[in-house]
């Protein structure tokens, strides 16, 4: 069955303003929930080193021309803590990371945190993961940057075992355990959906084949969605995976009017080509106004226009975003 295109928005969980009022962030998330946005995603950095130029270096996982948005002393909230707050203050929107540097966390603790979040949110968690670009974060965690791919695979292996087995057993070079019970399990059958970020390469294709529900293209793959999606699906198929069930994120192009406000129609003109290329999750990289009334005014029109652009009916929502039967 074809996957209906979904609308995702990022939530600003970072700022270079030390006096920022974080209640505005929570208000923006509630407005997304009420308006019918499908998914909200938050980003991750645990620490920063001084070499933020590495963000623009593709050889270490950065993206050419990219810029770290705050500098090393920016305020960055921890994403799983943010999702906990969102789980308590929203009712229907899916809650995701894009991305979590999962390898920086101890796998058994991360599995417990995410399972707890999934239970408390009613099964609304999506785990977007990637290896990151910054050596200093791995150094500060006492982990080898050169092995970050293997560390991410190890983390996902442990999480999947603990999420799906009543009596979990794991054997790996990093750790081993036997007869481990961790409850509760996630609400979602098979555990929490994993979205893997990366370029078109064999390591990412293997990770998608083993763990992935969805792919978050990175670097050049974001700029050529049709070619990148076809290439990644070929790699997944060659590894024995089923690319037909792979969900794929694509990024719409923001267009603003001369006064700086969002031109919804012009922005959504970039959506049909993404859908035609195989994108199932359209991310509009819109950092909402911090003032809740403006966000409330903007979002219903954006959601309605997205549904129209993707031939998907707009749900009728009651207060607090609950669908009306």
- Omega into 99 within 30° of 0, i.e. cis? yes
- pTM as predicted: 0.92
**Which domains does the chain carry?**
6-321 (3.20.20.30)
> Is the pLDDT reported for residue 312 higher than 80?
no
Work out the average pLDDT over 234-245.
94
Work out the average pLDDT over 198-203.
96
List, for residues 4-44, the tens digit of each pLDDT value.
Answer: 899 999 999 999 999 999 998 999 999 999 999 999 999 99
Work out the average pLDDT over 121-132.
97
pLDDT at residue 2, as a whole number: 63
Q: How far apart are CA 267 and CA 258, in angstroms?
A: 14
List, for residues 54-74, the tens digit of each pLDDT value.
Answer: 888 888 888 888 888 888 899
The helix (run of H) or strand (run of E) holding residue 208 is helix 202-211
Confidence category of residue 52, pLDDT binned at 50, 70, 90: confident
Work out the average pLDDT over 212-238.
95
**Portion of the chain with pLDDT greater than 70, in percent:** 93
Phi–psi pair at 248, nearest 5 degrees: -140, 130
List, for residues 268-293, the tens digit of each pLDDT value.
Answer: 999 999 999 999 999 999 877 656 66
Q: How many residues does the chain have?
A: 325
What six digits make up the tokens of 267?
């922005």
What six digits make up the tokens of 25?
């962030």
Beta strand pairing status for 194-198 and 214-217? parallel
Q: How far apart are CA 148 and CA 253, in angstroms?
A: 31
pLDDT at residue 289, as a whole number: 60
pLDDT at residue 139, as a whole number: 97
């Amino acid at each position: 069955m074809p996957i209906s295109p979904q609308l995702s928005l990022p939530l600003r969980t970072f700022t270079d303003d030390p006096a920022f009022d974080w209640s505005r962030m929570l208000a923006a998330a509630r407005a997304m929930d009420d308006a019918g946005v499908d998914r909200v995603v938050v980003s991750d950095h645990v620490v920063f080193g001084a070499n933020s130029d590495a963000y623009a270096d593709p050889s270490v996982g950065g993206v050419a021309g990219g810029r770290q948005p705050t500098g090393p002393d920016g305020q960055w909230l921890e994403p799983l803590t943010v999702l906990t707050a969102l789980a308590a203050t929203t009712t229907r929107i899916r809650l995701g990371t894009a991305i979590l540097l999962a390898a920086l966390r101890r796998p058994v603790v991360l599995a417990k945190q995410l399972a707890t979040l999934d239970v408390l949110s009613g099964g609304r968690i999506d785990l977007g993961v990637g290896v990151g670009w910054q050596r200093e974060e791995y150094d500060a965690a006492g982990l080898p940057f050169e092995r970050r791919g293997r560390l991410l695979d190890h983390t996902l292996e442990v999480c999947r075992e603990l999420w799906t087995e009543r009596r979990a057993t794991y054997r790996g070079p990093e750790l081993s355990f036997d007869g481990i019970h961790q409850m509760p399990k996630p609400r979602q059958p098979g555990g929490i959906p994993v979205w893997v970020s990366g370029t078109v390469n064999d390591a990412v294709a293997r990770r998608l084949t083993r763990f992935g529900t969805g792919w978050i293209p990175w670097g050049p793959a974001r700029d050529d969605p049709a070619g990148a999606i076809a290439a990644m699906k070929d790699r997944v198929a060659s590894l024995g995976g089923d690319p037909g069930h792979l969900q794929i994120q694509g990024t719409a192009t923001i267009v603003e009017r001369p006064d700086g406000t969002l031109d919804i129609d012009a922005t959504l003109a970039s959506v049909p080509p993404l859908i035609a290329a195989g994108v199932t999750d359209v991310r509009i990289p819109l950092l909402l106004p911090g003032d809740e009334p403006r966000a409330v005014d903007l979002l219903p029109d954006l959601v309605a226009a997205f549904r129209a652009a993707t031939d998907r009916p707009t749900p009728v929502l009651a207060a607090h975003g609950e669908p009306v039967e």
